[in-house]
Amino acid sequence: MALETLFSPYIIGKVTIPNRIVSTGHDTVMAHHGQVTDRLIAYHEARAKGGVGLIIVQVAGVHETARYTSHMLMADDDSCIEGYRALAAKIHAQGTKVFGQLFHPGREIMETDDGTAPVAYAPSAVPNSRFAVMPVPLELPMIAEIIEGYAASALRLKQSGLDGCEIVASHGYLPAQFLNPLVNRRTDQYGGSLQNRMRFIEEIATAVRARVGDDFVVGLRISGEERDVEAIDKNEVIAVCEALDQKNAYDYYHVIAGTSASLSGAIHIVPPLYYETGYVAPFAAKVKAVVKAPVMVTGRINQPQIAEQILSEGRADFCGMTRALIADPEMPHKARMHRLDDIRACIACNQACIGHFHKGYPISCIQYPETGRETSLAARKTPTKHKKKIMIAGGGPAGMKAAAVLAERGHHVILCEASSQLGGQALLAQMLPGRAEFGGIVTNLAREMELAGVEVRRSTPVTRAIVEQENPDAVIIATGATARRPEFEGSESAHCVTAWQALKGEANIGGRVVIAEWKGDWIGMGLAEKLAREGRKVTLATEMPMAGQALPFYVRDEMVARLHRAGVEIVPYARLYGTDSETVYFHHASSGEAMVIEGVETLVLSQGHESVNTLKDELKDLGVPVHIIGDALTPRTAEEAVLDGLKLATGDFYS
């Protein structure tokens, strides 16, 4: 597929962007005390080196009341200039342009730096449902102060050498709160009519432009469809963009979906794999039809072919491809060289990107843990000085990643997989409803091994005899895990099967099913949906306080919604105790009191995993160095498995 539009330059304001691929603003948790850090610079520099046309740096607060997390950037005083200047220099050195986001969350504040409840300010005293924040109504002097904050912050970005700024009016943040009549109940010049509700966004544009001039880009990011019961009317969003464009208020419009104000709306801030790729593009096209300024669109655009189609059809002028660049910083260069099969496509699992952010950790990628670790692990991927012959037992994510990196560094790597297919548990994950895309981790890692020159032997379990025959310098055990089947009263006599058996069709599942779930991960939830869709009455009994507690928020909330639609009953705090022919017994995990579910035909166990690593004992006295990674070491997730592979492959033993 020709990618001519994607790699054609385009002018925004007076700035020429070399191509249409954008790394959009996203919090990295790499700022420190509100300042740009070396780690943040290295993260963005890697994407600039990979050929992205435009980088929009994460949100920076414009006023002291804008601190919505304890680890965000701030642009409210001159101390930010030095860090931004260093960042801009590194990005510009690669030919990439860079904008910064200017931000005030209004009532959408997640946390404070000391754990106390925040004081939030908004147009009116209307609480949000997601963070349960009751805001203080803004008075006119503070509105003026915040608008001045936008202008002063924009000037600091210009003084730092950035090419532009983006005003964040998306996701239910302060400018969007002024637009929404359900949130803005003011009776002064900032409330009531659409013209009055637009006033805040207009005054920001006027103030910023007066401060930075015409040679600095000023754009607006806005949610077209908030997807919430208290959403801004989408037709009003189009009218706002049209009215602003007629006044030449902004140099571009960046269309996205969702709102931070509710669980249902927040899912669309970083939509998981359950949503179609490019699903925001139809609304972007409606905005593009009424404005002269360029239009960006963001929302599940994970492949250059998808971006090219959106652009060539005229639905937008730029495509935000942030997670695609998190998964593969070199995606633009690979696409330009028509190496499409070499691109490590994002699978929208959300685990290490937004999932890390929500936990307060620097973002990364489960497929490419080098992301976010550019100054540490990624820097250690240097050619080896001592070539070794390495045998890897197990072709799951851990073994595949170790193999790819070791071979890339110059080692002779033989990877043996006992089954006929590579992938390990990822092959099971992709069988669940809506999760077929997760199997991309297997395709991507297999391609990395192929490019690195790994010798792969399928249907070849590693034994002591094979190790003696090959005489490697080291053996890496990555043989994974198996489904855990704990002992409990009645487990031998009742119709009781593991989640793996149920998923692979190795058991006859009755019409009334209870899934006893231990970890709060995707397995029990995904299997519950699958069985319910097949017509069974399903109860998901989880030992955790909520279903999906271990999952990234947006994945969990979307999966809970899917289970609700499918009629699955969810019982929290349920710790499995025993079962008989038709009854399953639980303890309440907190009170210890009995919980009984009757009329059960099949009990499905989703009780975690047990490591498979017997090979270590077989090789104990051979004198060959043995390393154990992934679930073979201890059962965790694909993220830890791949990270284990990278850590081992870049460690001192293999240098």
**Which of 2.40.110.10, 3.10.180.10, 3.90.480.20, 3.50.50.60 would CATH assign to domain 496-607?**
3.50.50.60
**Residue 24 pLDDT exceeds 90:** yes
Condensed to tens digits (0 to 9), the pLDDT of residues 157-184 reads: 999 999 999 999 999 999 999 999 999 9
Condensed to tens digits (0 to 9), the pLDDT of residues 585-633 reads: 999 999 999 999 999 999 999 999 999 999 999 999 999 999 999 999 9
pLDDT of residue 328: 98
Residue 112: band (very low, low, confident or very high) from pLDDT cuts 50, 70, 90:
confident
Q: Report residue 605 as tokens.
A: 């166990």
Looking at the annotation, which residues are catalytic? 173
Residue 273: band (very low, low, confident or very high) from pLDDT cuts 50, 70, 90:
very high
**Residue 1 pLDDT exceeds 80:** no
496-498: strand order across its sheet: 496-498, 602-606, 512-517, 537-542, 569-571
Mean pLDDT of the 1-11 span = 94
Mean pLDDT of the 409-429 span = 97
Say which CATH architecture domain 383-483+611-654 belongs to. Answer: 3-Layer(aba) Sandwich (3.40)
Q: Domain boundaries in the chain?
A: 10-359, 383-483+611-654, 496-607
**Residue 330 pLDDT exceeds 90:** yes
The one-letter amino acid at 521: D
Residue 526: band (very low, low, confident or very high) from pLDDT cuts 50, 70, 90:
very high
Helix 199-212 × helix 234-246 angle, to 10°: 30
* Inter-residue contact 56 to 23 (CB < 8 Å): yes
**Count of C-beta atoms within a 10 Å radius of residue 229:** 10
Considering the chain, what is the average pLDDT of its residues? 97
pLDDT of residue 41: 98
**Residue 131 pLDDT exceeds 90:** yes
Mean pLDDT of the 553-575 span = 97
**Residue 48 pLDDT exceeds 80:** yes
Residue 70: band (very low, low, confident or very high) from pLDDT cuts 50, 70, 90:
confident
Condensed to tens digits (0 to 9), the pLDDT of residues 134-158 reads: 999 999 999 999 999 999 999 999 9
**Residue 213 pLDDT exceeds 90:** yes
pLDDT of residue 638: 98
| 145 closest CA partner among 188, 203, 100 | 203
Condensed to tens digits (0 to 9), the pLDDT of residues 227-255 reads: 999 999 999 999 999 999 999 999 999 99
| 364 closest CA partner among 321, 326, 402, 404 | 326
Domain 10-359 in this protein, CATH class: alpha beta
Helix, strand or coil, per DSSP, at residue 82: helix
Residue 645: band (very low, low, confident or very high) from pLDDT cuts 50, 70, 90:
very high
Mean pLDDT of the 304-316 span = 98
**Residue 575 CB contacts under 8 Å (≥ 6 apart), including other chains:** 543, 586, 587, 588, 589
pLDDT of residue 11: 98
- Give all strands (DSSP E) within 207-281, no chain letters: 217-225, 252-257
Whole-Å CA distances, 300 to 47, 227, 276, 321, 365: 18, 16, 7, 8, 16
Q: Report residue 466 as tokens.
A: 């094979």
**Residue 598 CB contacts under 8 Å (≥ 6 apart), including other chains:** 582, 583
**Residue 448 pLDDT exceeds 80:** yes
Mean pLDDT of the 206-222 span = 98
**Count of C-beta atoms within a 10 Å radius of residue 511:** 12
Q: What percent of the chain has pLDDT over 90?
A: 97
**Count of C-beta atoms within a 10 Å radius of residue 61:** 23
Q: What's the rounded Cα separation, in Å, for the pair 293 and 504?
A: 52
Q: How would you classify the pairing of strands 412-416 and 455-457? A: parallel
Q: What angle do CA 359, 540, 633 make, to 5 degrees?
A: 55
